Structure 1
Amino acid sequence: MMNETGNYPGQSWLWLFSFWYQIPPFNGLANADLVIVGIMVLLTLALMLLPFIPGLRSIPRLLPVHRLIWRDYYRRR
């Protein structure tokens, strides 16, 4: 089911779901699967809609971290 190759523990994207099962509010719920899938859907929608959310899309302008990352590249040009 997992298509494991070598020493790898399985599918890498499964940690996103299995992470929530370790947190105390969710590890005791009877319907934890439904709640965690709902959380993941909300987080996915938030990430997809990030460019359209006015307060969040201006964060790169307010915190110019990209300038620190790309400064060597632009220094050489």
Structure 2
Amino acid sequence: MMNETGNYPGQSWLWLFSFWYQIPPFNSLANADLVISGIMVVLTLALMLVPFIPGVRSLPRIIPIHRLIWRDYYRRR
């Protein structure tokens, strides 16, 4: 069920789930839905916990890529 409105392809977040169904270890599993849902839960938890992981949360200080992205914004201020 997509609940499409107009010419849009549907919910954009569905590609995150459908991506895993295309990879060979998962496309032949009988319980692929359960495995892929578990993978998505683990990835979501990992993304939610990034600010609390000491090595990962200090990466912006070590690799200041954000300064290149936002340099025009801060130049005007």
Q: 1:7 Cα deviation (Å)?
A: 1.6
- Alignment-mate amino acid for residue 19 of structure 2: F
Q: Which position in structure 1 is the counterpart of 2:3? A: 3
- Alignment-mate amino acid for residue 60 of structure 1: P
- Alignment-mate amino acid for residue 17 of structure 1: F
Q: Which position in structure 2 is the counterpart of 1:15? A: 15
Give the root-mean-square deviation of aligned CA atoms: 0.9
- Alignment-mate amino acid for residue 23 of structure 1: I
Is there any run of 5+ residues in structure 2 with no aligned partner, and where?
Answer: none
Once the two structures are superposed, the pairs formed by residues 1-77 of structure 1 within 5 Å of their partners are 1-77=1-77
Q: 1:33 Cα deviation (Å)?
A: 0.4
SS of the residue corresponding to residue 3 of structure 2 reads coil
The list of structure 1 runs, each at least 4 consecutive aligned residues, that deviate by more than 2 angstroms after superposition, is none
SS of the residue corresponding to residue 35 of structure 1 reads helix
Is there any run of 5+ residues in structure 1 with no aligned partner, and where?
Answer: none
- Alignment-mate amino acid for residue 12 of structure 2: S
SS of the residue corresponding to residue 9 of structure 1 reads coil
Report the TM-score when normalising by structure 1: 0.93
Report the TM-score when normalising by structure 2: 0.93
Whole-angstrom distance in 1 between the partners of 2:69 and 2:18 = 32
The aligned length equals: 77
Identity of aligned residues (%): 88
